[in-house]
Amino acid sequence: MDAGSQVGQVLEKAKRILIVSHIRPDGDAVCSVLGLGLALENAQKEVQMVMKDGVMKVFQHIPGNNQITKKSEGEYDCRVVVDCSDMLRVGGSLGEIQPDINIDHHITNLNFAKANLVQPGSVATSAILAEWLPKWNFPITQPIAEILLSGIIYDSIGFRTSNMNSGTLRLSANLMDMGANLPELYSKALMRPQFEAMRYWGYGLVNLQKEDGLIWTQLHMLDRAEAKYPGLDDAELNNLLSNIEDVDVSVLFIEQKKDAVKVSWRAKNGIDVSALALAFGGGGHPAAAGADLKGTLDEIRTRILEATHKLIDEHYSTLESNMGN
């Protein structure tokens, strides 16, 4: 039996379902939780949707977001993790219990559940759900279509990431046929940044450094406080940095708390940063990955930049060697 069919059977039999995703949730995480959760509720299942860090203001236009809580309550016969490559990133929402289902699209996914539907070729976990929910006989209503299309827009940065393909465009067109308004959802997801996020960007941009094909900057706890930015993420700043001309890799260091730093990589030109992130205890995609490290920002920055420069050098050395052959 294939992984998708196995997941469908587990969901069909389940009555009380807990759905969780990763800490510092992005748009695809929020939309994956909601899209699956609402579809299961429509099938008369009892569902609780949980995110340890809650739903940020920027995602509160997404239908049903007020149903996501920060803690689970009660007992469940099925535990589902979506858009998360390993159990550590869940942030303790499941305790030590192995989840029943893992639905994800990260190439570094550790297949940590009893049933794992992992499709690294998919542009978003929301896209996986848009493909499989009808196959599992869970209809996609108009609100669910809006949610899933929003997740695709968020994770593809408006259909611009290197893993975009014609299949995802067809899937998105199907969601539009089900009632999702693409122009409106695109505008809400990508064209209406928060005032506080723009102030937060300023602190990172003023510290921007370029070293050959690598650029990097950092965001301190004090920057976040002075900008009054409510999240622990980078407010999508690294997506902007990755578009700078003549840059292979951008690295952003986000101080979470004392001696705790989130590192975020973005890559172009065929450079794969996912293995580098995995080596530092994180994960992600070939062109977009991250890791959480313990230590001072200065110590971590030195280690990460050295390793990233080495990765870039090795990439181009391999290309030259292959051309020579």
Q: Where does residue 159 rank: exposed (0-12), middle (13-18), buried (19+ CB within 10 A)? A: middle
**What confidence score (pLDDT) does residue 51 get?**
95
Q: At what angle do helices 27-42 and 125-132 cross, to 10 degrees?
A: 20
Q: What are phi and psi of 7, to 5 degrees?
A: -60, -40
Strands (E), 204-296: 209-211, 214-219, 249-257, 260-267, 283-284, 288-294
C-alpha closest to that of 30 among 12, 52, 2: 52
125 pLDDT above the threshold of 90: yes
**What confidence score (pLDDT) does residue 25 get?**
93
129-138, 180-189, 311-320: least confidently modelled range: 311-320
Share of the chain above pLDDT 70, in %: 99
325 pLDDT above the threshold of 70: no
Q: pLDDT grade, residue 202 (50/70/90)?
A: very high
**What confidence score (pLDDT) does residue 62 get?**
94
273 pLDDT above the threshold of 80: yes
The contacts found for 171-176 with CB under 8 angstroms, 24 or more apart, are 171/127, 171/130, 171/131, 174/130, 175/130, 175/140, 175/145, 175/146, 175/148, 175/149, 176/145, 176/149
Q: What is the pLDDT of residues 11-59, one digit of tens each?
A: 999 999 999 999 999 999 999 999 999 999 999 999 999 999 999 888 9
Residue appearing with tokens 């393909």: 165
Domains within the chain, CATH numbers bracketed = 3-190 (3.90.1640.10), 195-324 (3.10.310.30)
121-125, 198-202, 204-208, 243-247: least confidently modelled range: 243-247
Q: What is the pLDDT of residues 111-122, one digit of tens each?
A: 999 999 999 999
Mean pLDDT of 255-259: 93
**What confidence score (pLDDT) does residue 193 get?**
86
Mean pLDDT of 161-169: 92
Q: pLDDT grade, residue 278 (50/70/90)?
A: very high
Q: What is the pLDDT of residues 59-69, one digit of tens each?
A: 989 999 999 99
Residue appearing with tokens 């929020």: 30
Which amino acid, 110? L
Average pLDDT, the chain: 94
Q: Whole-angstrom Cα distance, residue 77 to residue 20? A: 14
Which amino acid, 69? T
321 pLDDT above the threshold of 90: no
Q: Whole-angstrom Cα distance, residue 115 to residue 21? A: 16
95 pLDDT above the threshold of 70: yes
**What confidence score (pLDDT) does residue 213 get?**
92
What end-to-end distance do the CA atoms of the chain give, in Å? 43
Share of the chain above pLDDT 90, in %: 83
269 pLDDT above the threshold of 80: yes
129 pLDDT above the threshold of 70: yes
pTM attached to this predicted model: 0.89
Q: What is the pLDDT of residues 225-247, one digit of tens each?
A: 999 999 888 999 998 998 899 99
How is residue 58 written in tokens? 């920027």
DSSP conformational letter for 98: P
130 pLDDT above the threshold of 70: yes
258 pLDDT above the threshold of 70: yes
